[in-house]
Amino acid sequence: MTPFLRNLSALLIAALATGAAASLVQTQIVLTEVMQLGVPVAASLRWLSAAEDLARYGPVSLVMAFLVLLPALSCAHWLARRVSATARLPLLMIAAVVGMGTAFWLMRSVIPMPALAGTRTLSGYALMTLTGVLGAAVFHWLTRRTANRPAPQWQYAALVFACLAIPTSSFIAMLPPADPRPPSMPAEHLQVQTIASGLNRPWSVAVLPDGRLLVTEMGGRLLSVAVKGVVQPVAMNDVPPVLHSGGIIGLMEVAVDPDFERNQTLFLSMGYGEPDANGTRLVRARLVDNRLEDIRVLFSSSPKPGLGNNGGRIAFLADGTLVLTVGDGNTRREEAQNPGNHLGTVVRLDRDGRVPSDNPLVNRPGAAPQVYSLGHRNAQGIAVDPANNELYVTEHGPRGGDEINRVVPAGNYGWPLVTRGIDYPFASVSPFRQLPGFEDPVLVWTPSIAPAGLAIYRGAAFPEWQGDMLVPALKERSLRRVIREQGKIVGQQLLLSDRNERVRDVKVGPDGLIYVLTDGPNGSLLRLAPVGRPG
């Protein structure tokens, strides 16, 4: 038992050293990126950020390093015994670097979102990978020393316990505090009718003036749903090719022109390009006898290198112009702070695709003239409050930090300089929660609920809901009602949580009834009405 505990303790200490080194490298890369965006970071804040990451991301890095170093160092140790004892340390170092490099490569390749800021560039990837050298050296030194001077079994057991207990405790202590879960509306207090089912990854629903509904499926279909639920595909023969990948990118929004009864015009958003160079496209068409005609591409966003974070929601401002959300640069998230492209922005166009002369950045040298606001991560909800014409978006944070923002012209919403969220493996995105010159969110959710849409209720069917925000939540599997009084948020409530389904979109019909799309390969279109209202 003693040799096993001796080697296990040595491996855990080596993994601890590797994990700590990777955490420190990761933190410094992030802080360097922050400073390159023009925000100074004081030395005291650098130390504090490094300590925070060591306590919260360090344990995650420890686990990954242990899982990598266990087979890598075992193989190197076995090979050294058959080659030469003097080759042991170089073999251990090579094996550790190859193992860490493979692990980071798998994270970059498999996870749809950037797993770690430190691995998004070749130089950062190399530095993170080289942390395996330290682990190999520590393991080599410890195993040689303990072989020459063996310790009692209880000391090795204590080392194993400390290497597990201390990181686990620090990780738990540093987890972001979770918001309290709002109360759920009892199912019997809401009438829920299924209008259509069996929808394949539906993304958007729109209500036509005659009561028909339009639904997009990410694979590229536009469906017309009659009042009684009969579903028919809309012919889209001349629509440009749609870049589709599972539930990540594809055909997204369908929005009805405010003058639809006169011009039969629709607007569609969709993915375009290739997986390593793709963006969000805006298309206009006319709906004639269940087919699209006069199809025209109005706008194509700056391309980004990854498939995630596409935005894609459309709304119409009071002056007749339209706004479209565009996701950030994914693996180049700093592009959300670059006004010279469309990544991480809300863009504003007229309904012919032209740039309005009063766009806030239209006269700024080097800026993309379509940009209306910037610093967004992935806004997948957008709505105008018809009572005061204020524009709001909901946007996905990373791990925590989902937001509702009130959008103002030329407003900068901070991503990735200012955020309440952290990266998916629990590393810091930025040390800043607020900064002068950046707009503060109206509401923040931690943990993430994954807000996928937004509607502001102004209708007759639910008179007590006037001005409330309705937010479909994918991760939380609910429809959130954000309760407002005189524009101020005073509470929240969960709707449809008893169904345990991911909720993708929500729209309010002219009659005040609420239309909801559930997500996935077997999604549904639901209609919400007050209890007792005839179906």
Mapping DSSP to helix (H, G, I), strand (E, B) and coil, where does residue 328 land? coil
Rounded CA separation 281/297 (Å) = 7
Domain residue spans of the chain: 2-174, 209-458
Task: Give the global pTM.
Answer: 0.94
How many residues are present in the chain?
535
Query: Under a CB-based contact definition with an 8 Å cutoff, are residues 467 and 457 in contact?
Result: yes
CA distance 404 to 288: 36
Burial class (CB in 10 A: 0-12, 13-18, 19+), 388: exposed
As a whole number of angstroms, the distance between CA 430 and CA 432 comes to: 5
351: buried, middle or exposed (CB in 10 Å: 19+, 13-18, 0-12)?
middle
pLDDT for the residue 533: 67
Q: Which helix (H) or strand (E) holds 6?
A: helix 2-36
Ranges under pLDDT 50 in the chain: 1
The two tokens of residue 34 are: 């922050």
Task: Tell me which fold the domain 209-458 belongs to.
Answer: Neuraminidase (2.120.10)
**304's torsion region: left (phi>0), alpha (psi -120 to 50) or beta?**
beta
pLDDT attached to residue 98: 95
Residue 490 structure tokens: 């005073």
Closest CA to 428 of 29, 53, 178: 53
pLDDT tens, residue by residue, 341-356: 999 999 999 999 999 9
Q: Which residues pair with 529 in a beta bridge?
A: 191
CA 203 to chain centre: 16
- How many angstroms separate the CA atoms of 441 and 471, rounded? 15
Question: In the structure encoding, which two tokens stand for residue 219, read together?
Answer: 């694979």
Alpha carbon distance 222, 227 (integer Å): 16
With b meaning 16 or more CB within 10 Å and e meaning fewer, what string describes 405-415? Answer: bbbeeebbbbb
